[in-house]
Amino acid sequence: MTNTSSGDPLAISARNLTLTLGSNAAPTEILRGIDLDIAKGEVVALLGPSGSGKSSLMAVLSGLERATGGGLTVAGADFSGMDEDGLAHARRGRIGIVLQAFHLLPTMTATENVATPMELAGSDDAQPRAKAELEAVGLGHRTDHYPTQLSGGEQQRVAIARAIAPRPELIFADEPTGNLDVSTGEEIVKLLFERRAETGATLLVITHDKSLAQKCERVLTMADGVIVSDTKNAKTAAA
């Protein structure tokens, strides 16, 4: 565990977090009281059956979605007191997100996909930083390619470069190997862990893959909108 930053040693602190969606007449409780502390630099896997609320929890912890109730502090910012604009601002540069379906912008090259979030955050050297990060994920020869010209594994490398290039404090990955074959998935996990270790970021990764979970320091399991187990792995590749 790396507590290199000063101040709060916690990357995430959630208290009785709830998320209720749907109409007032027919509300659906998606998250039903999440209590969770994650230390800075920790590498955590999130497991659980489909529909248990993993993606919803990630959406709330990463500021993509507002919780309905409870307290939430992420990277030192009080997310529970913020509106959507506040959350969008707080996310910028602090939080990197990697999704199963890559979500690259089809009209932009690999470099532009990586550089654009940094440009929006006010960086004046976004292009060279994007190129350097694409080099680091092994795509130095694909920087001017468009997403449709790249394989699934290559697109996920671009997505990892985009998430990591701004040097976020936190990285969230939602089934990052879900759309990839087994050996490409293994390469992507290796790369994600290498780049994470390089930057010391906190990582929360949603997965169904037990071997990926074993590489993490800590494993959370969700069922029906709550965390039902929280265990530490004795020895991990992430440390």
Ligand X SMILES: Nc1ncnc2c1ncn2[C@@H]1O[C@H](COP(=O)(O)OP(=O)(O)O)[C@@H](O)[C@H]1O
Residue 5 contacts residue 200 (beta carbons within 8 Å): no
Pattern 167-206, ligand X, x by CB under 6 A: ----------------------------------------
Which tokens belong to 187?
A: 């390469």
Q: Is 221 in the site for ligand X (CB under 6 A)?
A: no
Sheet with strand 218-223: strands edge to edge: 95-99, 170-174, 202-206, 43-47, 218-223, 226-232
The reply on whether position 54 binds ligand X by CB under 6 A is yes
Question: Contact between 52 and ligand X (CB under 6 A)?
Answer: yes
Among residues 53 and 117, whose Cβ is nearest to ligand X? 53
11, 12, 17, 30: which one binds ligand X (CB under 6 A):
30
Piece of the chain touching Mg ion by CB under 5 A; list 55-63, 143-151, 192-200, 224-232 = 55-63
CB of 28 vs ligand X, minimal distance in Å: 5
Residue span binding ligand X (CB under 6 A) among the ranges 22-30, 72-80, 89-97, 160-168: 22-30
Among 36, 42, 56, 111, binds ligand X (CB under 6 A): 56
Judged by CB under 6 A, the stretch of 44-52, 81-89, 98-106, 133-141 that binds ligand X is 44-52
Using CB under 5 A, which of 55, 156, 177, 202 touches Mg ion? 55
The residues near 26 (Cβ < 8 Å, ≥ 6 apart) are: none
- Counting contacts by CB under 5 A, is residue 177 touching Mg ion? no
Number of H helices, E strands in the chain: 7, 10
Helices (H), 37-83: 54-61
Q: Alpha-carbon torsion 49, 189, 60, 3, what sign?
A: positive
Residue 17: C-alpha distances to residues 20, 33, 80, 163, 236 (Å): 10, 5, 9, 25, 29
- Determine the Cα–Cα distance for residues 76 and 128; give it in Å rounded to an integer: 29
Nearest distance in Å: CB 124, ligand X: 38
How far the first Cα of the chain sits from its last, in Å, is 7
Residue 28 binding ligand X, by CB under 6 A: yes
- Region binding Mg ion by CB under 5 A among candidate stretches 20-28, 32-40, 47-55, 154-162: 47-55
Backbone φ and ψ of 138, nearest 5°: 80, 20
Smallest distance from the beta carbon of 52 to ligand X, in angstroms? 4
Work out what residue 56 binds among Mg ion, ligand X, none; the CB cut-off runs from 5 to 8 Å by kind.
ligand X
